[in-house]
Amino acid sequence: MPIAETDLGMRRIDTPDAMHALGLRLGASLRAGDLVVLTGPLGAGKTTLTRGIGEGMQVRGPVQSPTFVLARTHPSLAGGPPLVHVDAYRLGSALELDDLDIDVDGSVVIVEWGRDMVDGLVDSWWEVELDREWHGRGVDTACGTYSRATEQLDADSPRVVTITRRP
């Protein structure tokens, strides 16, 4: 299995640098045919992680939040597979993902917000969930105010990353 057993499960990632480093490690182990579903709220660190993965895979950057395109292909600079970065947020269904005609077998595919969409596209995939550690402290934002405390927490605060093999 390309992603090491020791990288599976839940871990705490304290800093953006540590998130990037996790991406580097994952990127170095991902192989053509691997598909990763990435889920997490705004600012969770999805792009930071994906940037690390791209660097670990030695593909051409820059990796960005795929906001304006449905899929962006980053070719390898080292003779390896390309990284295809998909934003499934605006895709309505698994069918539309299929319509993008991605060379899944010949690429490493990262699908943001792709949960429930990749079933059928591949037999198995990796699911990476990112979250803020202090979920319960978002009470102030739920009340409609954005406190300084929240801002500081978001600036440099631990994230929880859970990696699982699916289905």
Ligand X SMILES: Nc1ncnc2c1ncn2[C@@H]1O[C@H](COP(=O)(O)OP(=O)(O)OP(=O)(O)O)[C@@H](O)[C@H]1O
Q: Which residues bind Mg ion (CB under 5 A)?
A: 46-47, 65
Q: Are 23 and 32 in contact (CB under 8 A)?
A: no
Q: How far is the CB of 119 from ligand X (least distance, A)?
A: 23
From Mg ion, ligand X, none, interface partner of 82 (C-beta below 5 to 8 A by class): none
43 binds, among Mg ion, ligand X, none (CB under 5 to 8 A by kind): ligand X
167 cis-preceded (ω within 30 degrees of 0): yes
Return the one option of ligand X, Mg ion, none that residue 22 interacts with (CB less than 5 to 8 A, by type).
none
Q: What length does the chain have? A: 167
Helix or strand or coil: residue 17?
Answer: helix
Between 15 and 124, whose beta carbon lies closer to Mg ion?
Answer: 15
Cα gap 105→161, rounded to integer Å? 26
CB 53, min distance to ligand X, A: 12
Residue nearest to ligand X (CB): 45
Closest distance between ligand X and the C-beta of residue 19, in Å?
A: 4
CA angle 18, 151, 87 (to 5 degrees): 60
Whether 55 and 28 have beta carbons less than 8 Å apart is answered as: no
Paired sense of beta strands 159-166 and 71-74, if any: unpaired
Q: Which is nearer to Mg ion, 46 or 132 (CB)?
A: 46
CB of 64 to Mg ion, least distance (A): 8
Q: Which is nearer to ligand X, 42 or 78 (CB)?
A: 42
Min dist. Cβ of residue 113 to Mg ion (A): 10
Q: How far apart are the first and last CA of the chain?
A: 14
CA–CA separation, 118 vs 102, rounded Å?
12
